[in-house]
A and B are shown apart, each in its own frame.
Chain A
Amino acid sequence: MIGKIKNFFSRNDNPLVSKNIRFSYADEDVLKDINLVTKKNKIYSIIGKSGSGKSTFLKLIAGVISKKHRGKIRIFGKHRFLNKNSFGFVSQEPGFIPDLSIENNIKISGLNYGISEKKALERAKDLMGQLKLNIDIDRKPMDLSGGQKTRLGIILSILHDPRMIILDEPFVGLDFKNRWLLWRFLENKRKEGKSILLTSHLLTEIQEHADKIIILKDGKVFFKGQLEKLKNKLNMNYIYEVRFSWLAQSKWEKLKNYCNKKNGVDIIEKYEKHCVFSLKSEEVKKKLDKKFKTIGLKDNIINFREPNLDEIFLKT
């Protein structure tokens, strides 16, 4: 009891603390039991299959969904309604006022955060420079290209220079160069001491830029941490791609029996004579090669390498 009270009063400065979050739109629970604490000054990326509830979770944190949920959400130690100026939420839909000019959109968004119109314009100009967005602000937002809209949407949501930036699929519709630019932008923000929480399907880029990965699965946090940890958890330190010259059904059955957790081998994909295995260690590879011989399979190695996030993701 005392501990609880202490906890209550102790200043918890984690950007996000969510405990036992349970939520449903209708009957079925979208989020079943989400427990997630993020640390300051890091880029967190949430991944998960389409429909796994990533957007729902972010909207819940940001207070966009006001339907009742179970569990506790704290942003920098406070209820989100009391701490709106500490985070900026970039939703999947940019949320412009289409009938007003970009300039007025900036001013209104600034006012929403309680910033003066002049200051909002200054901040927007600065951010536009950082995101290399050269547009005429007298135009209407709907005149912009998809990528320009995305970047403007981000700018409008962080005019108040929040400590945490929450982005829902910010890379959709951006070409490679702009994605790279946005990653750089987010990394710079991290350098400035901001905390970032985003969702994306671009696993390769996440692998490269994010500090920590959060995998949502079945309404729960399936995994949180660095990639290495996930590989270990999944027994998946190497990828072994093999093409057989001939693969009869009976031999395939034998091979399938061999591939299990005990032997440290897992089949990720099979397409005709082409198989992709995940292996726990280099040791396992030698054993597997032997097995090929005993079964009587002639192999033609294509690749033996470390897995990428796409492959890891496929396995979850």
Chain B
Amino acid sequence: MLKKKIKFPLRYGRKFYGHLKKDLMLFYNRKKYLYIFLIFPILIAGLFLFLLSPTTASMRVGVCDLDQTPETQDMLTDLDDFDIVLLENENCTENLKNSIMEGKFELGLKIPNGFTENIENLEQASLITYHDNTDIALSRMVSWKMDSSLNPYRRSIIDGLNEELKQRISVARQSIDTAEQLTGGSGPLHEKIIEIDRDLERIEELDTDFIVNPIKTDSRGLHHELSMKYISIAFLYPIITLFLILMLASISIIYDDKTGFITRVKTSTTVLTYIFSKILFFFILSAIVFALFFGIFLLAGASLTFNLMEVVKLIFFVSITNSLIGMLIGNVAENEGIAILMSLFISFPLMLLSGLFFPLQNMPYIVQRVVEVLPLHLQIEATKSVILFNQHLGMTLLYLNVPLLLFTVYFIRRNI
């Protein structure tokens, strides 16, 4: 009797171990999956690091200088962020547009006739820039970059103007001094002259910065100690894990079904044992992704402090949700191709709604509320709280998986 009691857990332990061992061996033996799994996170993390610290290679800008004055040449030499190429004046605008479309320049700049004259007459002068607006990321950045590159030149104009203003005012104040002496130091005329002198003094002391930009906004991130590199890992880790685990979990269910392994499971073990062993398997994979990610970000100079126990909890949370969703996909899809498509179908919108690429705050109220309960969003919030803020992970997140688990067990039992 006692022997039997000991045997029971041992037998179930072996069944569980058997499933896990099978998945690990299969993963190791099917090299293509293994390599993609290992390379994918490294690739994404590496790319992201490059994107976040752009190189200094300058943009090529084609210029049509229709004004051709010493001032415009000054301005162009001031634009040292760019690689400036001057175009012939003949048909300049057309050539410029074509060259941009052909990819010779990232940006075109046209200085219209009369640009310098306008400035000298203290009238607003304008510049025209051209860019390929089908290149979304570039066109978002280009205008802003041109604007900020022109700032030094703008300032020099204003400074010149200010200088000139000051000189003229100083001459005017000298004349007023003489006038004041003539009034003899009193009377209404004297008062008036003093008043004018004071006004001129205020103009003389006017702040150049005020003229350039009367209101300056200074936005400060609350977590200025965290660099972009550092923050992005909290988004990238769950996103990459979602992609990988959804695909691998759904494919593995289909593999087991197609090869008839499920039949063996059903006649020898229980579906629950099978599902739990899968969850543990994907927990191990998620932990590997985590380690890879951190390795790369640490090499790139990020410094992180976190509680290991919380990280384990986090990985558990991430892996259990994703593997259950993946298994459900594997249940619905007929073959591996459809499983991968369905995984993309689910993970792609989740990725767009993750808040890494587009701000969610601009979306309608309903959408925002929905996004809040989407799995990827929850995972990102959890990752942020653990690895950025070193906080505890609430167990409520894990409870969310209970209905998912019941649903998966029910589905697998019924369908396979």
A binding-site residues for B, Cβ under 8 Å? 62-64, 66-67, 81, 84-85, 87-89, 91, 93-100, 104, 107-116, 156-157, 160
Contact = CB atoms under 8 A, between A and B. Distances in A.
Contact of B26 (A99, A109, A113, A114): A99
Nearest to B260: A95
B21 A108 contact: yes
A63 B26 CA distance: 26
A58 to B, nearest CB: 11
Nearest to A93: B260
Contact of A111 (B14, B26, B416): B14
B198 interface: no
A223 B135 CA distance: 77
B21 A89 contact: no
A108 B12 CA distance: 13
Q: Of residues B17, B22, B264, B413, which shows the largest number of chain A Cβ atoms within 10 Å of its Cβ?
A: B264
B267 A64 contact: yes
B259 A95 contact: yes
B266 A66 contact: yes
6 contacts: A67-B414, A81-B270, A89-B263, A95-B259, A97-B22, A115-B14
A67 B414 CA distance: 6
B271 to A, nearest CB: 8
B30 A63 contact: no
A62 B260 contact: no
A62 B267 contact: yes
A64 B266 contact: yes
Contacts of A63: 266-267
Contact of B263 (A95, A111, A116): A95
B11 interface: yes
A112 B265 contact: yes
B9 to A, nearest CB: 10
Interface string B1-37: 0000000001110110111011001100110000000
Contact of A100 (B11, B15, B25): B25
Contacts of A88: 267
Given A91-B260, A94-B260, A97-B26, A111 B15 contact: yes
B53 interface: no
B269 A112 contact: yes
Interface string B266-282: 11111000000000000
Contacts of A84: 267-269
B116 to A, nearest CB: 75
A89 B17 CA distance: 22
Q: Of residues A98, A114, A116, which shows the largest number of chain B Cβ atoms within 10 Å of its Cβ?
A: A114
B267 A96 contact: no
Interface string B380-397: 000000000000000000
Contacts of B30: 99
B40 interface: no
Given A95-B261, A100-B25, A108-B22, A89 B267 contact: yes
Contacts of B26: 97, 99-100
B360 to A, nearest CB: 42
B11 A97 contact: no
A114 B265 CA distance: 12
A156 B261 CA distance: 11
Q: Of residues B22, B30, B265, B268, which shows the largest number of chain A Cβ atoms within 10 Å of its Cβ?
A: B268
A7 to B, nearest CB: 26
A112 B18 contact: yes
Contact of B261 (A87, A97, A107, A115): A97
Contacts of A112: 15, 18-19, 264-265, 268-269
B413 A66 contact: yes
Contact of B12 (A64, A91, A114): A114
Interface in B229-279: 259-261, 263-270
Contacts of B12: 114
What 7 A-B pairs are tightest by C-beta distance, nearest first? Answer: A111-B18, A95-B260, A114-B11, A112-B268, A89-B267, A93-B260, A108-B22
